[in-house]
Structure 1
Amino acid sequence: MKRIYNIFIIVLLLSVFTGCDKFLEEDPRDIISPLNYYQTDEEVMAGVNGLYNNWYDDQLFNNYGILRFYNWGTDEIEPSRAGTGGLAQLCMYNLYEDQQASSVTWRVLYKIIYDANVLIGQISNNDQISEAVKNQALGEALFNRAFAFYHLTNIFGDVPYYRENLPLDEIQFLGRHDKNNIRNEIVEDLQQAQDVLPDIYTGDDRGRASKWAAATLMVKINLIQQNWKAARDKAVEIINNSPHKLRENYKDVFDPLNEFHEENIFQIVYTKDINPQKFGNHFSPRLRDEPAKSKQRDDLEAALTEQGEVFDGTGLEVVMQDLRDKFPLDDLRRPMTICDNYLGFDLKFIYMPKYWALDFINSPRGNHGKDWVIFRLADVYLMAAEAENELNGPANAYQYINKVRERAYEPDKPLSGLSQQKFREAMYDERKWELAGEGHRKMDLIRWGILLDVVQKLENTTYPMAENIRPYHTLWPLPAEELMKNPTLLESDPTNNGYR
């Protein structure tokens, strides 16, 4: 779905309903009433577009964004040079309440929830809206709201929770709600969304949440909740009934010229010159760092230029040595995950080519059109395998994990003959090899209960993660700014997730 900046209605919605800085200071209904605004199908869909626009915020899925929580502080990726400031603190588990990153992330996610509640509340019984648009808007609003609560509970644990169109003076003083109850209820919302959303989109509507995006988010939440049967059944439903298929070649999954392929289920859509993304800068090398032998820099630059490429990124997000050393050498996914030699030049850092943006004409620095994929089918296959193993052991789980491994090895190397525990351990690695850097690793390690163990065993890292990590670091602290505005947030947990 493209962001359309020249449509007055979207600008109006963003300025009125979703203002970030003054979100908790002004009641939008004092300016314009949503009840009077949502009078046509076009106005309703403009409101839905406004929900999606929030995900492009730098604190969510652009620049460093929300991936600082999901990617950093594990055994996959670390910043190559974050200094000693806020970025380094996030990576090395030296966290504190007044970090700007967590504060803005919190605020934008709650902005999505507020806007979704307004939209849902005002269209549900509005007979001026066509039934088709009402169902579409309801499904997308439910998905966006659930997706926001999914991230809030992952990052902060128990958080304020509401699903009604409440006045802001009431929202401001809500206490924390049990994260498990929140997750159970948003699964119900997602099922409602799945029931009304379409299978797939075409044209400029690509990038909206389909019924299968809602279903995939249900699988993820059910795995966190250890609802194994619900997770298995929903994953198998996606595999058997959705239009999504695995690509034959792992490299093709990340083809910037064919991003709307059959494996991708939900993605944040970026477009060069219209709504460009920046995270490609952080994964792409910068020439001033490379190659390992600096006297070869001119030769490397010439070789890059010859094929229309440039090392003009920041090279900030690099692969950890631990991942490089453990990644199987015969795994066909390795070249898209591990790069320490390019065009015959040994590199100083280890990079992840699946996210590179080296084309200086079609993907110049800070103006990348490559999408960020949130869900893809290979992840669903692996979640089906995990849930089935937890339910019944590995006998019927092999079919799902081996389907993913088929394209990873030539000849095939299917798994077999494992105990339930050994299969579980195989899952730990298989998800790492398949989904490295895609924003799943930390939550996997947390829900498996092995984050501390994995991080404490890391060696050769830039930052002292192993020394600093503590059990409470599975969550971020609630932001100090929010605690000052709403002391009620400390009533159920005066320690603020263990940070006090």
Structure 2
Amino acid sequence: MKILNDKIFGLLIFSVLAIGCESFLEEEVRGIIDPSTFYQSDEEAVLAVNGIYLNLRQNGFYGNWQGIHTFTQLGADVLESSRQFGGNEPMQNYTLTQSNYSNARQLWQLIYRMIGDANSVITNIENSPNISAAVKDQSIGEALYLRSYAYYHLSNLWGDVPYYDEEIPIADAASLGRTPVNEIRSNLISDLTRIETENLLPEIYGESDLGRPTVWAAKILLAKIYLWQEDWANAREECLEIINNSPHQLLPDYGDVFDVNNPFNDEIIWAIDFQKDVPGNAQDRTDGFNPRLRDEPRNPADRGPLSDALAARNEEFNGYGLTVPILSFINEFPVDDLRRPHNILGEYLGFELTFQYMAKFTNFDFVNSPRGNHGEATLVFRLADVYLMLAEAENELNGPGNAYQYINAVRERAYEPDQPYSGLTQAELRSAIQTERKWELAGEGHRRYDLIRWGILLETVKNAEYRTYDPGSNIQPHHIKLPIPEEELVLNPALLDSDPTNNGYGN
């Protein structure tokens, strides 16, 4: 396993917390830190922690539309590419092999770089006598959270993976075998519980620190891990704690959740902030959802009038036009659901479009948000997700009785007049919750994980209708996990010791 490009001892620092900055990740500073001479002040501790976040902002992770989005959203029953595209095709169409999905290796390496950075921060800050208690606690809390988030994705995507939680020599890291997934998740539960019990993270941040995880972000991540473990009681407890005691609340209007001018609104528990015009800190993920003018509108003769209408509003269809809802998502989304126009855009400024787009992730303002230079925050966790997780946990524990209130709280803003659930069996409510998560959280990074967790990925994909691909004909049981990239197997043959089949993809 090749980690950190052979610099596991050097913590790569990409940004600095500068007084007066709009965001704690606004400025970029590159360099390699020697732990023996660094970590000598609070400022250096904060600088080191800031460096961990930049892994999330790289193109292989959240920086563009081909990062982790490929593996959490494509290959499910919500989104697909509008045309054949080589980089996404193996995941989208379930033609995966060990060697044909290079962007997975980039994600694998970025996640392990993030883990290595976090381990370095935790080890060196814990051992430094020169850092104040308050900064030490928060720095360790952030590093624990980010490391847990990294392993959360590794374990969900690949299952058993190499696990280490301390600084180790590069030769040792490069020869680690795979740790059982349940053991990894148990370790994550311990780390996230430590954040709470030792009060390592605050409940809220000031304006300059938005984008750092709070204790509530740690709790929602912990609840998600409990759901993977089918530990309904503990998942229920964490979700209740968030709903009853956090400052977060459901917004009255679903569309306001995705307002690019208010990305850290009351419903958002954690989002990753990006900064326009800051090298390495802008993102082009939005471009994957924005239409491109060459595709639109449906009537080619209207292309000029549409372009003029957009220009009058300082807007453009200047994206890649690749990530669009699949046909069955469009056809089955209830027409009276107020969330539908935010998830399915088939008409704009009076022009019928060729494709339908996921409107809540589009931004046509090319002045303030130009192509390849978007400063929008990328949503990770929000409160509506917690309500639906709580409904699921409560239903599994005790049946529908107390679970209705949580799913109905989410549905209340989705229908006018209200359409609350009642009178369902446990199995019927289970199915209703699964469908509600599909409509409420579409495109937000949860759907494929949910389908795997519920054990229904294969049947769901087989029954979905796609425009461009036919994954239902290709998907096999082993596709619920990804293969470890072939290049990693060459570098570290120990990755095959516990599973010579490489999750079923090998010979």
Equivalent in 409, 412, 432 of residue 403 of structure 1: 409
Matched, 1:228 2:247: no
Letter in 2 for 1:139: G
Letter in 2 for 1:97: Q
Matched, 1:440 2:446: yes
Q: Which residue of 2 aligns with 1:11?
A: 30
Q: Give distance in 2, aligned partners of 1:273 and 1:141.
A: 27
Q: Which residue of 2 aligns with 1:211?
A: 215
- Displacement of 1:497: 0.4
Q: Give distance in 2, aligned partners of 1:264 and 1:119.
A: 27
- Is the CA contact 1:388–1:394 (under 8 Å) kept in the aligned structure 2? yes
Give the SS at the match of 1:161: coil
- Displacement of 1:35: 3.2
Q: Which residue of 1 aligns with 2:463?
A: 457
Equivalent in 380, 383, 396 of residue 386 of structure 2: 380
Q: Give distance in 1, aligned partners of 2:424 and 2:261.
A: 40
**Which residues in structure 2 correspond to 1:132-171 (within 5 Å)?**
132-171=134-173
Q: Give distance in 2, aligned partners of 1:70 and 1:203.
A: 30
Q: Which residue of 2 aligns with 1:49?
A: 50
Letter in 1 for 2:61: L
- Displacement of 1:309: 1.5
CA RMSD of aligned residues (A): 1.1
Give the SS at the match of 1:216: helix
Q: Which residue of 2 aligns with 1:172?
A: 174
- Displacement of 1:460: 4.0
Equivalent in 243, 246, 249 of residue 250 of structure 2: 246
Q: Give distance in 2, aligned partners of 1:424 and 1:376.
A: 21
- Is the CA contact 1:228–1:388 (under 8 Å) kept in the aligned structure 2? yes
Q: Give distance in 1, aligned partners of 2:87 and 2:262.
A: 36
Give the SS at the match of 1:374: strand
Q: Give distance in 2, aligned partners of 1:149 and 1:203.
A: 28
- Is the CA contact 1:321–1:350 (under 8 Å) kept in the aligned structure 2? no
- Is the CA contact 2:274–2:377 (under 8 Å) kept in the aligned structure 1? yes
Equivalent in 114, 117, 133 of residue 115 of structure 1: 117
Letter in 1 for 2:120: V
Matched, 1:59 2:60: yes
- Is the CA contact 1:270–1:276 (under 8 Å) kept in the aligned structure 2? yes
Equivalent in 425, 436, 444 of residue 431 of structure 2: 425
Give the SS at the match of 2:123: helix
- Displacement of 1:337: 0.3
Letter in 2 for 1:199: E
Q: Give distance in 1, aligned partners of 2:376 and 2:424.
A: 39
Q: Give distance in 2, aligned partners of 1:111 and 1:271.
A: 22
> Which stretches in structure 2 are left out of the alignment for 5+ residues?
1-22
**Which residues in structure 2 correspond to 1:294-443 (within 5 Å)?**
294-443=300-449
- Is the CA contact 1:2–1:269 (under 8 Å) kept in the aligned structure 2? no
Q: Which residue of 1 aligns with 2:14?
A: none
Q: Give distance in 1, aligned partners of 2:118 and 2:366.
A: 38
- Displacement of 1:205: 0.6
> Which stretches in structure 1 are left out of the alignment for 5+ residues?
18-31
- Is the CA contact 1:5–1:11 (under 8 Å) kept in the aligned structure 2? no
Q: Give distance in 1, aligned partners of 2:50 and 2:466.
A: 45
Q: Give distance in 1, aligned partners of 2:125 and 2:262.
A: 36
Mean Cα displacement is larger for which, 145-154 or 451-460?
451-460
Q: Which residue of 1 aligns with 2:76?
A: 74
The CA deviation string for residues 203-239 of structure 1, in whole angstroms up to 9 with x for no partner, is 2111001100100100111111111001011000000
Give the SS at the match of 1:231: helix
- Displacement of 1:308: 2.4
- Is the CA contact 2:24–2:50 (under 8 Å) kept in the aligned structure 1? no
Give the SS at the match of 1:375: strand
Q: Which residue of 1 aligns with 2:505?
A: 499
- Displacement of 1:46: 0.4
Q: TM-score, normalised by structure 1?
A: 0.94
Give the SS at the match of 1:37: coil
- Displacement of 1:277: 1.2
Q: Give distance in 2, aligned partners of 1:50 and 1:276.
A: 16
Q: Which residue of 2 aligns with 1:21?
A: none
Letter in 2 for 1:37: F
- Is the CA contact 2:272–2:379 (under 8 Å) kept in the aligned structure 1? yes
The CA deviation string for residues 31-68 of structure 1, in whole angstroms up to 9 with x for no partner, is x3x13311111111100000011100111112121110
The CA deviation string for residues 62-88 of structure 1, in whole angstroms up to 9 with x for no partner, is 2121110001011100011233x2321
